[in-house]
Amino acid sequence: MKNHNSKSNYPIDDFKTGESWRLFKIMGEFVEGIDSLHSLGPAISIFGSARTNQQDPNYQKTQELAALFAESGYSVITGGGPGIMEAANKGAAGAGVESVGLNINLPFEETTNPYTTKHIKFDYFFVRKVMFIKYAQAYIIMPGGFGTLDELFETITLIQTKRIRRMPVILMGSKFWNGLIQWIKETIMTNEMICPQDLDLFHVLDDPKKALKIVEDFYQ
């Protein structure tokens, strides 16, 4: 009779083998991303909701903003999906610069939009985030949901803790963002969980031209 409590029956070897092969897959995603993007040149990463439709003012503003940066020589990096990402890739592609989509394999939402000139597929969010951050000279955060907030807070945390170099982080749409900023001031900062200077890590704007000026002034 088999002893079902025996350690030899526990599939630990299968687990370890699976984990080991997963490490190779993760390394492969890093290699593919670096090989594809290392010669990209000046670029901005634009984050925002995948659920924004083409009639939404935020879609139109994102397209305008991406085109403005593209005309100034910046490639545009997005998540490659629909909504805000599509608007940004559309604005970039129309201006003739590289329009990059870093797509994530999800059961919904993340089909690659048709306006990318270069796209890479990822299975791992954290590898994809490294590519967003590593190859951008600025981060533009449009209105979005949990994923957008995750990208925003991870970026400013990395800058705050000096894990990455300081660069412009711009939140577009004061009406959308002001409630969050007010809560940060009244709750987090009041309880001394961040310093007042940490609020200087980002800008809240409405005008795409001001966003471009902040980025250009920063690098001058």
Report the share of the chain in percent with pLDDT over 90: 84
Q: Which amino acid is at 13?
A: D
Q: Which residues pair with 44 in a beta bridge?
A: 76, 138
Contact 151, 36 (CB under 8 A): no
| Residues in Cβ contact with 181 at an 8 Å cutoff, skipping those fewer than 6 apart | 199, 204
Report helix angle 57-71 to 84-94, nearest 10.
30
- The pLDDT tens digits for 166-180 are 999 999 999 999 999
Q: In whole angstroms, how large is the CA radius of gyration of the chain? A: 20
Residue 105: predicted pLDDT: 82
The structural domains of the chain, with segments of one domain joined by +, span: 9-219
Sign of CA pseudo-dihedral 182, 187, 189, 190: positive
Question: pTM for the whole thing?
Answer: 0.88
Residue 115: predicted pLDDT: 97
Q: Kindly state the average pLDDT of the residues 153-160.
A: 96
Residue 1: predicted pLDDT: 47
Residue 6: predicted pLDDT: 46
Q: What does CATH list as the number for 9-219?
A: 3.40.50.450
Residue 139: predicted pLDDT: 98
pLDDT confidence band for 11 (50 / 70 / 90): low
Residue 17: predicted pLDDT: 65
Residue 118: predicted pLDDT: 95
- The pLDDT tens digits for 91-102 are 999 898 999 999
Mean pLDDT, the chain, rounded, equals 92
pLDDT confidence band for 140 (50 / 70 / 90): very high
